[in-house]
């Protein structure tokens, strides 16, 4: 009987260990003094557009828009004072869900390209938590395409910036 109890206990512990650990909620913890790393403008003025990259060393980098965040993401060495050498230095990459202002994982977000929505930095990519939200926004605001994170390339960011 003790053997069966021991084996049963072992399976229970293994099962519990297999449960996914819930991720702490994402936070966009900026204030009126928080400045966009790329554009050098205050991010609080346009909260629908704020992006953030948190580094593994705890440093938090804020961006005035997804476009600015992608500029840094594709060329972190351009901002050598930050000390980022590779993508492995990033802990979290966040954007603000345009429809409800909640921070979301940038790599899981869907981005609307070519819409009438303008960020503080001009034409931009509008982030959403799911594809349905993005498609609905795109149809209402003349969006050209809905893209996943991996589909966004440096050439698209240059195009949006007018630097082809």
Question: Tens digits of per-residue pLDDT, 107-161?
Answer: 999 999 999 999 999 999 999 999 999 999 999 999 999 999 999 999 999 999 9
Closest of 107, 105, 124, 106 to residue 115, by C-alpha: 124
Nearest partner of 141 among 156, 153, 129, 124, judged by Cα: 124
Domain count, the chain: 1
- Using CB atoms within 10 Å of the CB of residue 24, give its burial: 0 to 12 exposed, 13 to 18 middle, 19+ buried: exposed
Specify the pTM. 0.84
What is the band of 2 on the pLDDT scale with cuts at 50, 70, 90? low
- The dihedrals phi and psi of 104, each to the nearest 5 degrees, come to -135, 160
Q: 81: domain range?
A: 24-160
Contact at 8 Å (CB) between 140 and 103? no
Asked whether residue 4 is domain-assigned, the answer is no
Residue 150 in any domain: the answer is: yes
Residues 48-69: pLDDT tens digits? 999 999 999 999 999 999 999 9
Residue 119 belongs to a domain: yes
């Amino acid at each position: 009987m003790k053997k069966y109890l021991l084996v049963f206990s072992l399976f229970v512990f293994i099962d519990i260990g297999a449960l996914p650990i819930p991720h702490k909620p994402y936070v966009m913890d900026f204030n009126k003094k928080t400045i966009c790393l790329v554009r050098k403008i205050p991010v609080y003025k346009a909260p629908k557009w704020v992006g953030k990259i948190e580094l593994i060393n705890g440093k938090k980098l804020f961006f005035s828009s997804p476009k600015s965040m992608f500029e840094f993401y594709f060329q972190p060495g351009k901002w050598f004072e930050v000390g980022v050498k590779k993508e492995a230095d990033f802990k979290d990459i966040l954007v603000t869900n345009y429809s409800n202002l909640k921070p979301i994982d940038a790599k899981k977000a869907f981005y609307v390209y070519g819409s009438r929505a303008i960020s503080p930095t001009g034409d931009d990519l509008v982030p959403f938590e799911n594809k349905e939200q993005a498609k609905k926004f795109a149809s209402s605001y003349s969006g050209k395409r809905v893209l996943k994170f991996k589909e966004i390339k440096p050439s698209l960011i240059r195009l949006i910036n007018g630097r082809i």
